[in-house]
Structure 1
């Protein structure tokens, strides 16, 4: 059986930590957004895609739609919990501050759709680390997701293009983390969504931030709008004749 070196840990894990693989995944701009708090609630919510089917991450792995069907069903049945951390704090705290191992919130919705594994998260109100993460999310300082997954069974892994990358058809997650720097460059997150656009300057800044020539794009949109307008009725030069009869 072919050995999959990509799924090996980068170092031997401690025996008291879950034996999972951590992957920073890509998100398209604006695929993570801030959800306004419900009336009377101080909880901070955000959503985005923790996995995208079209993405091949920097470790040469691609998840297939349906890979998390069992996981989603187990979550709905109440037999499985996927945790939320900041920068894989449960694992990386040994290099930083032990307090970073705190769970910062909970995932209140995890579902598959045509794009990927869509998640809705809620930060724990009053928790100092969650408050720091919230500030960074709102300001756009941090802009990534990452997953920690258990090594899949060999029969659920498909080698593609002579082993250049693999497709994973079934997987299980330990946690989904909010992170600083995703390694798969397609997947960036941002808290800047259309609700924050209050003026033309805001729109231009948003477009420029994603590499668009704002003025050119806006002019193109205006041209499309003008083409969609029905043609004005042209009066016949002999219309006055019918008025006399």
Structure 2
């Protein structure tokens, strides 16, 4: 079963130095940033997650941590999810008994994976004068670790990077900048 089977939209986000891996299993950072347009022209507004998070909390539900939006591949637990002035903050842990979670930790620490993405349903949205979709209320279902982020301003940072990982990160940033320039033409 695919995420699209549930009518969910996907919003990719990565925030430089925002997602951190500690001890190979604990991660934290921003899964969504307010006020920044993504590559699709969507802008998440402050307060967009409030009702969804309140409803989940009241019924004892949880937002799932998935690998690449695949509902068949949960890789961890989000222990804390909250909205603040910056965006949607998440803190959780990869489960070391899950093979894909161990792979995800290794890929993050090496700099090969550096994105977060949300799976959600739009409850309320409007278009602004620029044609951007302003997302005012979202029903949050999951936050995934992903390869390709939709919101370029966000990147994963692994704690304790090696110099080689830093070199690869610089190359990836240069590639992203070139891709953004080409997309703007």
Normalized per residue, the structure richer in helix is 1
Shorter chain as normaliser: what TM range?
A: 0.7 to 0.9
The residue number in structure 2 matching 1:20 is 8
- Shift in Å at residue 106 of structure 1? 1.2
| Structure 2 residue 108 is the aligned partner of structure 1 residue 108 | no
Provide the C-alpha distance between the structure 2 equivalents of 1:71 and 1:36, rounded to a whole number of angstroms.
31
Q: Secondary structure at the match of 1:85?
A: strand
The residue number in structure 2 matching 1:146 is 117
Higher relative contact order, chain-length normalized (CA < 8 Å, sep 6+): 2
2:47 to 36, 44, 66: 66
In structure 2, runs of 5+ residues without a counterpart are 174-185
Paired residues for 1:19-168 under 5 Å = 19-27=7-15, 29-36=16-23, 44-90=25-71, 101-152=72-123, 156-162=124-130, 164-168=131-135
Provide the C-alpha distance between the structure 1 equivalents of 2:56 and 2:135, rounded to a whole number of angstroms.
20
- Shift in Å at residue 54 of structure 1? 2.6
Q: Deviations over 1:174-197 (max 9, x none)?
A: 1110001112211111214xxx38
Provide the C-alpha distance between the structure 2 equivalents of 1:19 and 1:191, rounded to a whole number of angstroms.
32
Query: Against the structure 1 CA distance between its residues 16 and 36, is the aligned structure 2 distance closer, same or farther, given a 3 Å change threshold?
Result: closer
- Is the contact made by 1:51 and 1:116 (CA closer than 8 Å) also made in structure 2? yes
Q: Deviations over 1:45-73 (max 9, x none)?
A: 10111110032111211111111111222
CA RMSD of aligned residues (A): 2.7
Q: Deviations over 1:207-229 (max 9, x none)?
A: x9498xxxxxxxxxxxxxxxxxx
Provide the C-alpha distance between the structure 1 equivalents of 2:22 and 2:49, rounded to a whole number of angstroms.
24
Q: Secondary structure at the match of 1:161?
A: coil
2:147 to 180, 189, 193: 180
Larger Rg: 1
Query: Against the structure 1 CA distance between its residues 57 and 122, is the aligned structure 2 distance closer, same or farther, given a 3 Å change threshold?
Result: same
- Is the contact made by 1:84 and 1:106 (CA closer than 8 Å) also made in structure 2? yes
- Shift in Å at residue 23 of structure 1? 1.9
Aligned length: 169
- Is the contact made by 1:71 and 1:80 (CA closer than 8 Å) also made in structure 2? no
TM-score, structure 1 as length reference: 0.62
In structure 1, runs of 5+ residues without a counterpart are 1-12, 38-43, 91-100, 212-245
- Is the contact made by 1:26 and 1:55 (CA closer than 8 Å) also made in structure 2? no
